[in-house]
Amino acid sequence: MKTEASRLFDELNTRYWGGRLPRYRVIQRADLGCWGLCDNARRTILLAPHPSREALRLTLLHEMCHIGTGPGYGHGPRFLRKLRRLIELGETALHEEDLERYDGTVVERHIAAAKVAGTLLPEVPFRDMLKSDIEDLAASNLDLRLRWPRVARALAQQYKMSVPQLRRVAPWAEREWRRQRGEARELQRAEARFRSRSADSTTSACPVPGGPGPGSSRRWPPRSQGVQRSRTCCTSSRTCPV
């Protein structure tokens, strides 16, 4: 028997995609660690319990926009195009909570407000934000082996600039990416060593389901959400306390 979430998937697929989206399983899980997650490899969408059916429906629409966007930066131009189309078709609630979160508007607004408040030192906050984004991408995309050109495109998109502009304002970014990627890989290797040692012992350490994932970061600004093994974990301020 179909769950309510599966029925909702079918309903939205028919309404907005003419039923052309491939069949995905939609599973609700209490221990997800983020609000929604689209696993394109397994054709599965996972949803955490939401405070209302409408909030769940909006997260499901967000996750459905991830279908067919391929691996890599999960909230890139293809994803944003799909989101914009839904907004044009009347899903206006997706504008503030989803589109502006990922198209750079939120960051822009923050910078503008900081300028007005006089708390923005030119260059420094941007540098910190960009470094934080790079760190995130490096930490959460280990398995995808993202290369710099793709990362540069994602970052440029995030800050509403072209790649050459990004290169001009942050000539250090590629070097930082390589450094962060190296550190992230080293950390991954150390974790793997720790896990294999734990597996040998009688008291094996298991990863805690629903533990802090790429989508559970508490830092600001909201950044490119992490992608792990083609699973895109999304947080939305709709229900997120951040």
**Could you list the residues that contact Zn ion (CB under 5 A)?**
234
Least separation in angstroms between residue 85's CB and Zn ion is 16
SS3 content of the chain, % helix, strand, coil (to 5): 55, 5, 40
Nearer to Zn ion, 155 or 233 (CB): 233
Q: Which residue is nearest to Zn ion (CB)?
A: 234
H helix or E strand, kind and range, residue 37: strand 36-39
3 state SS for 44-111: EEEECCCCCHHHHHHHHHHHHHCCCCCCCCCCCHHHHHHHHHHHHCCCCHHHHHHHHHHCCHHHHHHH
Least separation in angstroms between residue 214's CB and Zn ion is 11
Least separation in angstroms between residue 9's CB and Zn ion is 16
Q: Go through 49-75 and write b for each residue having 16 or more CB atoms within 10 A of its CB, e for each that does not.
A: ebeeeebbbbbbbbbbbbbebebbbbb
The whole-angstrom separation of Cα 94 and Cα 165 is: 29
Least separation in angstroms between residue 196's CB and Zn ion is 32
Nearer to Zn ion, 138 or 234 (CB): 234
Least separation in angstroms between residue 189's CB and Zn ion is 28
Least separation in angstroms between residue 127's CB and Zn ion is 26
Nearer to Zn ion, 76 or 181 (CB): 76
Nearer to Zn ion, 184 or 226 (CB): 226
Side by side, which strands form the sheet with 44-47?
25-28, 44-47, 36-39, 231-234, 227-228
Give the length of the chain.
Answer: 242
- Give CA 222 to chain center in angstroms: 9
Which tokens go with 41?
A: 């490899």
Nearer to Zn ion, 66 or 181 (CB): 66
Nearer to Zn ion, 101 or 181 (CB): 101
Least separation in angstroms between residue 161's CB and Zn ion is 22
**Residue-wise DSSP of 4-29:** HHHHHHHHHHHHHHTT-SPP-EEEE-
Rg of the chain on CA atoms, in Å: 19
Nearer to Zn ion, 62 or 181 (CB): 62
